[in-house]
Structure 1
Amino acid sequence: MSTAPDVALEARDIGLKFGTFVALEGVTVTFRRGGITGIVGPNGAGKSTLFNVLGGQLRADTGAVLLHGQDVSRSASHIRARHGLTRTFQISRELGALTVLENLLLAFPRQPGEGVLAALRGGASVRQAEDEAISRARALLERVGLWRLADSPANALSGGQKKLLELCRALMLEPRIVLLDEPAAGVNPVLVGELGDFIRTLCDEGLSFGIVEHNMDLIAALCDPIHVLAEGRLLTSGTFAEISSNARVTEAYLGGVA
């Protein structure tokens, strides 16, 4: 299988059932390389289920997932992460008893100190990896204004700060594409604006994003294209202006997307 060179990630004809319930049916969507792609739709449309298929948390019954042109449909989530795909979740999954910094250090990949023999022997390679991990974590936390809280327990953060921490944890893996599942949920408007600015900056630096979100202001500000799901199917795709004026989208939302 292959995909267009400007496509970072593709869900091709994805179908998934839970018993007799059809969660996804024939869904084909693409995520542009170096862009921010939105996935929207009413509750129960299948948005998070699609992200779970893309991320490897669920395996589709039919169809394929292509990551930078490579079929990863049967690859576990950690394998997809090695190939540059990572994600966040609707509910932040921080390890609350650990500090903010420790949460990020745990995400640093391929640490030689994780091996028993290497940890016992210590050595320059272990210390170098630890220094690199701390340096990367500090740089990310400084960018989102959380470095001052580096030694605080993660469960002491506000909801918005936890969202920023989860995004930073995903970025510790140095991904090429990040899937964000409702990053603005439970976040105050000021932090939503800061989060949007950070995502746009990362995109300008070459990172690709997919965003599931109910906050239409954030979707309008960041995303092009936008794919609309309804009842597990792709309803339409287009710019925000195009989908917001689409009668089928208005009907699916029972009153509009705004």
Structure 2
Amino acid sequence: MTLAGLDAGILGPALLAGLLVLATHVPLGMKVLERGIVFIDLAIAQIAGIGVIAADVMGFEAQGWAVQISALSAAALGALLLTWTERRWPEIQEALIGVLFVIASCTGLLLLAGNPHGGEHLKDLLVGQILWVSSEQLLQMAVLTILVLAIWFGTGQRLGRAGFYLLFALAVTASVQLVGVYLVFASLIIPALATRAWLRRRLPVAWALGALAYLLGLALSAVFDLPSGAVVVLAMAGLGLLLAACSKIRPQTCSADRQP
């Protein structure tokens, strides 16, 4: 245990990366929860990961445009496939999303089978490297975040099924390379789930929950020298449980939000 790890030069960019991910994933997560397709982000993130792995196998630069195009193309194809399956078999959409996730995961493992650094690449994809985000990555993510939020709040319900899936794929493709699959899922689902009882001010409360979890998780991981992504996920889960329990034990905390 040491306080030397509390370096603002490292934790600051990591926290900013988390806030950028939360900015888009919290509102998207509420929609995902409403539609009952909770595991869509795992599937899309894993498919985007296949694009990243495939580009790496072909020898493209890790942070180059070829990798981004490969990841986004894979995620977009996955999004279009899920659009079609929801239209064709809406009653089993969640099951199909789970099957797609498993297929994508196994495909990724096969692509990495002959890579001597395959285990490291897989760990980076799942847990992420949030402590080592670059200023260029943050700038790209900031631009993408503004674009996604503008489309989301500007079009509202007019996006349609295909539009929602494609916008979701765009947001997840960027975030999974920044923070990893686990943090993408946590950022999408936990704040939305913990604030489901809030009818008003739900969005800012969910954003605040996620931001506090990133701040607490990054600080704890630095002090105890633990993997940052895993600690942030656990911090978010713990804070989410506390908020949900508070909402049940003391309804007045969100009673004002239940009024019409």
Q: Note whether the superposition's TM-score is higher than 0.5.
A: no
Q: TM class by shorter-chain length?
A: under 0.3
TM-score, scaled to structure 1: 0.28
Greater percentage in strand: 1
